[in-house]
Amino acid sequence: METSGWRAEFCRLTLTLAFLALILPGTAAMAATGNDARGEQLFTGSRAMTNGGSPCIACHALAGLGTAGRASYGPDLSELYADYEAEGVAAVLESLAFPSMEAIYANRPLTETERLDLTAFFARTAETQTLPTTSLAGLILLGVVIVFALVGLSGLRRFKGARRPLVEQARKERGVIQ
Amino acid sequence: MDIRAQVSSVFHLDKCIGCHTCSIACKNLWTDRRGNEYMWWNNVETKPGTGYPTKWEDQEKYNGGWELVGTQLRLKQGGKAGTIGKIFHNPDLPTIDDYYEPFTYKYEDLTNAPAAKDQPTARPVSMISGEPMKIEAGPNWDDDLSGSNVYAANDPGVIQLTEEEQQQLFAIEKMVMFHLPRICNHCMNAACVASCPSGAIYKRGEDGIVLINQDKCRGWRMCVSACPYKKTYYGWSSGKSEKCILCFPRQEAGEAPACFHSCVGRIRYLGVLLYDADKIEATAMKSDGELAAAQREMILDPFDPQVIAAAREGGLADQVIEAAQNSPVYKFVKQWGIALPLHPEFRTLPMLFYVPPLLPLLSVENNGTQKISDDFFTTLEQARLPLMYLAGLFAGGNQEEIKAVYRRLIAVRIQRRAASVGDLPEAELQNARELSGLDDAALDAIYRMTSLTRIKERIVIPPMLREQAIEAGMDPEEYKQGMGFGSRQAPKRRW
Amino acid sequence: MADMILFGVFPYVALALAIGVGIYRYGFDRYSWSSQSSQFLESKALFWGSIPWHYAILLILIAHFLAFLVPSSWGALLGSPLRLVFLEITGIALGLTTLIALAILIFRRIGNPRISAVTSKVDWLLFASLLLQVATGVYIAISLRWGGAWYVHTVSPWLWSLVKLNPQIDYLANLPGIVQLHAVNAFFLVAIFPFSRLVHVVSVPLGYLGRPYQVVIWYRQRRNDY
């Protein structure tokens, strides 16, 4: 159920961007350009959005950010800039009218500066398009092993029974059959 | 001085015949419910033996009781924060396999079996799961030295004896045993109280009875591991811990606790002791060998005017002080000095005292005739049990304590022989008397108390004064729930 | 409508049950308030199940509550890629730990006849619900990354809207079904809390740290006026 919903949403995103891409090239170029460093901070969340919106990294993958840029909730944005150029990106950031984003950003829209900064950041990362493929599974399993190892260590001296070991021992030593 | 009264007991081990009547009386009254089958608030062990649960005395294994860390008294199972950290799995908790899996038999198979060549049998089934099971143990598996090469040989007190002593102990002609009835000691420095994270376990101020508030118990089961005597039990069905309540509802009605009342050998004495609660901690920190004496030191003379005045000031009623003056326990422990606490080295200051067993005479085979041993009466040198073994049980390893008690018990025997038969030289009597440090009147009093007294002299219950406890206008039902066992609903799992 | 009932009404019903029945049970049947520990009947498997389960689930719950109660601080904590990845790895590892531990505990209850005998119907329901909760949680954490970050801007505002008695179900209505299931099942657990052994979670005995070892209760007033 949710997969088809996601597909629909993704289609809508593509359509919107395509539409914007068609109508926007004619309009005037952006008056100002953003600060890509600030854009990165906004993307990763080290700088909070002015209106309290979510940082992009929470849901979207983006090549060039290492493992942290491998979110899988929303669509991968690595090729966003290459496909839609600055104007398209800026326009999408303005509305963010996708079902699961709407609730988040409807009352907390991105400011104009933030949109420009993010666009500039997308522009900078446009060239890297492949996500790192290193798997986290190893680290995660290591974490699980560590937890169980700690548990085992904590119980090294736990009580392991008195009566049965005593009888077992006697049986072995003297051949006593209870 | 903070004087408190404590209902305490003395068990005279030379009188115990190991009949388990006390255990059954208690079981029928308190622990015949599901989840409590294995609980023996009162049990009788055979010594030497590993007891119940198996090897309970071995605190290297069970981590019960207190230990001295520098100048601090600490629970052996760990500090407070550590205890809370171990709440999800108590590393020191024994399981039911260290006691026994309760069982019954499928008796109906005896009558319902179809006609066949074989005799029908009633198979044992677990009272936990109802599944057929193999019976591996019971509440008295090593009763009367059965399986002694496994159980008695591994008695923690026996293991510490020399190889030679151990061999003597188990030589078939010299085989020796005695019975050790055990109930909750209602300790002054109780480890179960100290270990309860919920604060559900408490000592009643007026009479020192230690109780578990069933409404406050959350089943964290720290008391089970903390009690070095393993006298708190976890109810695996109710999810609550339970322990001996010294039959306080019976005592409040003026009746002796069930195990005392039913005791066939009349070995049990009950009475009030007055003690100074300010000295609890200092006493519990004495060295192992000094503990028994230090605990005796804490017990106050109820005839001393200063003590009486201080007791009155502390709120003790005159009737309680009077009960303390008539207390047989005071006589045994303090006046005569022939009763010792069990394993004082656990540092809980147990308030149940034992008269160590002098044991019967040894008869020897002599050219086909039975002859009683050369010395008519046991001497210290010829004690049936190694003094070290008894000292390990009752005096934290201090043999002098045991010797002192034995000298007195021997003096009583000699004095009685002299009085009733009159065939002993006066010098021997005189010698025994001097060694005992007791005068004729005291020796006679010991004799009277151990053999002639009736229940009212053996069991002196102080007035519990419950009529003063409940303020006018207070709902007695509500008050009851706040204080004691007081379950108004069946004590079983409902949710 | 279904969304409204599930995300806007059910949480209140669950909380009302938890508080109402919880108070009733504490007031009128306090004897039943217990952890119902089964360690006494089986200790070996419990060791490998109970300890990792409790510690891991506690840490995970703390993370959920922190992200709910102080979302901006939590967001700031995750504001660096390194910290984000580290916390996510830790969270997933702890989640897997709870899953493994819970599996051990469930097999223990099924496989050991003694433990089966002390397991009630509500216990089984509780186990099923916990298993569903932990399994969906781990699945979400792995497949819908990074949950630690988007929780702050979806679930947290939803929970706050519930606190403010103005449920905004849009936050949840647009999340994937598996997240919705996780959220609803969480409140289902809240709902069965007072009917089950779960009540022990509110009995954390921290008072023990502050009290003296010995507890003495006097049932009479100690009188000094004799």
B186 neighbors B201 (Cβ within 8 angstroms):
no
User: Which residue, among B59, B98, B136, B224, would best test binding to A if mutated, counting the most A CBs under 10 Å from its CB?
Assistant: B98
Out of C118, C209, C215, closest to residue B237 by CB: C118
pLDDT per residue as tens digits for the range A137-165: 999 999 999 999 999 999 999 999 999 99
Question: Comparing C-alpha atoms, which of B378, B379, B327 is closest to residue B353?
Answer: B327
Out of A154, A161, A176, closest to residue B98 by CB: A161
Confidence of residue A118 (pLDDT cuts 50, 70, 90): very high
Residue ranges per domain, chain B?
17-100+121-259, 265-458
Q: Would you call B72 helix, strand, or coil by DSSP?
A: strand
Contacts of B313 in chain C (CB under 8 A): 224, 226
Fold that domain B265-458 belongs to in CATH: Alpha-Beta Plaits (3.30.70)
Q: Which helix (H) or strand (E) holds B134?
A: none
B243 neighbors B31 (Cβ within 8 angstroms):
no
Q: Which of these CATH numbers, 1.10.150, 1.10.3470, 1.10.760, 3.30.70, describes A2-125? A: 1.10.760
Distance from CA of C110 to the nearest CA of B (A): 12
pLDDT at site B483? 43
| CA pair distance B269, B44, nearest whole angstrom | 16
Chains that touch B (3 or more CB pairs under 8 A): A, C
pLDDT at site B375? 60
Chains that touch C (3 or more CB pairs under 8 A): A, B
Amino acid at B405: V
| CA pair distance A97, A101, nearest whole angstrom | 7
Instruction: Give Cα B297 distance to the centre of its chain.
Output: 20
Instruction: Convert C102-114 to b/e letters by CB count within 10 Å (16 or more is b).
Output: bebbbebbeebeb
User: Which residue, among C74, C150, C155, would best test binding to A if mutated, counting the most A CBs under 10 Å from its CB?
Assistant: C150
Closest alpha carbon within chain A to B60? A159
Contact across the interface for C97 and A55, Cβ inside 8 Å: no
Which has more pLDDT, B326 or A91? Answer: B326
User: Which residue, among A158, A163, A172, A173, would best test binding to B if mutated, counting the most B CBs under 10 Å from its CB?
Assistant: A163
Q: Give B247's contacts (C-beta < 8 A, 6+ positions apart).
A: B29, B255, B256, B257, B258, B259, B260
Task: Check if A178 contacts B (Cβ < 8 Å).
Answer: yes
pLDDT at site B493? 83
Tell me the pTM. 0.90
pLDDT at site C58? 97
Contacts of B91 in chain A (CB under 8 A): 154-155, 157-159
Strand partners, B182: B43
CA separation, residue B433 to residues B132, B374, B438 (Å): 61, 21, 6
Contact across the interface for C153 and A58, Cβ inside 8 Å: yes
The answer to whether residue C221 sits within a structural domain is: no
CA separation, residue B475 to residues A63, B36, B252, B253, B489 (Å): 74, 31, 18, 19, 17
pLDDT at site B376? 56
Contact across the interface for C215 and B494, Cβ inside 8 Å: no
| CA pair distance C72, C225, nearest whole angstrom | 61
> How many domains is chain C partitioned into structurally?
1
Out of B80, B95, B217, closest to residue C208 by CB: B80
| CA pair distance B438, B487, nearest whole angstrom | 49
The DSSP secondary-structure symbol of B189 reads T
| CA pair distance B23, B30, nearest whole angstrom | 11
* Lookup: tokens for B311: 């007791």
| Fold agreement (B17-100+121-259, B265-458) | yes
A70 neighbors A85 (Cβ within 8 angstroms):
no
Q: What is the mean pLDDT of each run of 10 residues along chain B (495 residues)?
A: 94 96 96 94 96 96 94 94 96 97 94 91 95 94 90 91 86 85 97 97 93 94 97 96 94 93 96 96 95 96 96 90 97 97 97 91 64 62 84 95 94 91 88 93 96 94 74 51 52 81
Sort residue A32 into left (φ over 0), alpha (ψ -120 to 50) or beta: beta
Q: Residue C114 belongs to a domain with what CATH number?
A: 1.20.950.20
ipTM of the complex: 0.94
Contact across the interface for B97 and A178, Cβ inside 8 Å: no
Question: Comparing C-alpha atoms, which of B237, B226, B345 is closest to residue B285?
Answer: B345
Contacts of A154 in chain B (CB under 8 A): 91
| 101-120 of C, contacting A, C-beta below 8 A | none
Q: Which helix (H) or strand (E) holds B373?
A: none
**How is domain B17-100+121-259 classified at the architecture level of CATH?**
2-Layer Sandwich (3.30)
Amino acid at B29: L
* Lookup: tokens for B344: 């004082």
pLDDT at site B379? 72
Closest alpha carbon within chain A to B142? A178
Contacts of C213 in chain B (CB under 8 A): 75, 193-194
Query: Any idea how long chain C is?
Result: 226
| CA pair distance C72, C66, nearest whole angstrom | 10
Strand partners, B210: B203
Contact across the interface for C36 and B219, Cβ inside 8 Å: yes
Distance from CA of C104 to the nearest CA of B (A): 14
User: Which residue, among C170, C174, C181, would best test binding to A if mutated, counting the most A CBs under 10 Å from its CB?
Assistant: C174
Instruction: Give the residue numbers spanning the domain of C131.
Output: 2-209
pLDDT by residue for chain C (226 residues), tens only, comes to 899 999 999 999 999 999 999 999 999 899 999 999 999 999 999 999 999 999 999 999 999 999 999 999 999 999 999 999 999 999 999 999 999 999 999 999 999 999 999 999 999 999 999 999 999 999 999 999 999 999 999 999 999 999 999 999 999 998 999 999 999 999 999 999 999 999 999 999 999 999 999 999 887 655 443 3
